[in-house]
Structure 1
């Protein structure tokens, strides 16, 4: 499994390095960098591929807690398909993708060393457990701005997207927009502090170990 994880981490590292490079290249020309086809496609590929990390955690291939991994990875995939793909033209794309890709380049670099059984360099270890202090709030704030800009557009152009209407064989109805109105405040009010506290705890423990 060490070889599999090393290959996975190399592939993701290359992918997110590509994304951060493309965003930096296109940012001077447009605020809506996610609407650039090559950026959009690359984000979709590597963000969806990240879903394997939930399986890695479930099968104990990695030490990451399942609940935290599911919240972080599942939340990001849902954000891509539930917001970014429905409204790709958002000015918040640049800071969001810079925060995401910078964090992933650091994370997968650290994971690569671990999967190869090689000690992580001290500067990389410090970045792994310190950069999130800035990048995490930057990403969350950008997500909130994107939702705020996208929601009225989604509501107007595709109000029934991802929804299930009655009648149907299962006698079940689901309204995606209503779900968002209820769940989004809870997600950011409850989910963000939980994940941020977990990462701060990890930082304290790792720095003491080092």
Structure 2
């Protein structure tokens, strides 16, 4: 029963039982164990609701972050797919142009007129592969990617293109032919692997063809570079530039076996050894 005018208010909780609840400075102060237990339960419920709210907020933030990362990864994969498919189509065009040159009876002296511009575009476009490896878009080693791309860009722009004696040589045609047959299945394999649809025969060709094509292509690069040295010596304005050309040729000595054995390791990883049939 509540009695107004007193500093202490009393309520009847149960018949015959009185509890005193003191109001001090606007704050409710329990004076019985039952009141304290009730307030503790309310506090625990409030803390639980606050914790659940914080957990839900953190979960929502985490989900949004995962969605953003997933969208970013999808964008990278889409970009890599477009890049690799365009490179595969470009090298297919170069191979077709080279074949068209020989089918027309033009011969190696006119091969550069058929493939020179396209080769400049797509071979230079391989520089993006170094950036892909450096930025972590792909898992390719930066060093091996850099060596392969740099050697080809160097041979095209500083050896073959400036000197007609070089790009009219049959060695130039053999080099481009090897490049095309190596790059077409390589880029196709990369592109289709992003969608999980790379057929096993294509994977086998990509990781087996290099055993013949790499010596042919790299060997042609070495021959062209060596044959161009007298021309480089006359054309280059500074003596140290000629020294750089000689050093580039020397770099093939360790670079060729390094890249070849690297590809052998990649072949073992991607194809592996055939399983031996179990004995009956």
TM-score, scaled relative to structure 2: 0.66
> Is the CA contact (8 Å cut-off) linking 1:9 and 1:109 kept in structure 2?
yes
Matching residue within 139, 159, 171 for 1:83: 159
CA distance in structure 1 between the aligned counterparts of 2:174 and 2:147, rounded to whole angstroms: 21
Contact 1:33–1:94 (8 Å) recurs in 2? no
Aligned residue for 2:241? 176
Q: Which aligned pairs between 1:119-158 and structure 2 lie closer than 5 A?
A: 119-156=197-234, 158=235
Contact 1:32 1:93 in 2 (8 A): no
- Alpha-carbon displacement from aligned partner over 1:164-206 (angstroms, at most 9, x marks no partner): xxxxxxxxxx721112223312x11100000000000111121
Q: How does 1:188-203 map to 2 (within 5 A)?
A: 188-203=252-267
Pairwise CA distance, 1:154: 2.9
- Segments ≥4 residues shifted beyond 4 Å: none
Map of 1:169 onto structure 2? none
Pairing 1:47-58 to 2, within 5 Å after superposition: 47-58=123-134
Deviations 1:71-118 (A, max 9, x none): 111221111111112223322111100000111101011011012x22
Q: Distance in 2 between matches of 1:83 and 1:44?
A: 13
Greater relative CO (CA pairs within 8 A, separation 6+): 1
TM-score by length of 1: 0.86
Which has the larger share of strand? 2
Contact 1:106-1:128 within 8 A present in 2 as well: yes
How many residue pairs match? The answer is 194
Q: Contact conserved, 2:226 with 2:249, CA < 8 A, in 1? A: no
Q: CA deviation at 1:34?
A: 4.4
2:101–2:111 contact (8 Å) kept in structure 1: no
**Structure 2: where are the runs of 5+ without partners?**
1-75, 275-280
Contact 1:103 1:131 in 2 (8 A): yes
Q: What residue is the counterpart of 2:173 in the other structure? A: 94
User: Can you list the C-alpha shifts for 1:126-172, whole angstroms capped at 9, x where unaligned?
Assistant: 0011000000000011112212322222323x131xx4xxxxxxxxx
CA distance in 2, matches of 1:183, 1:3: 36
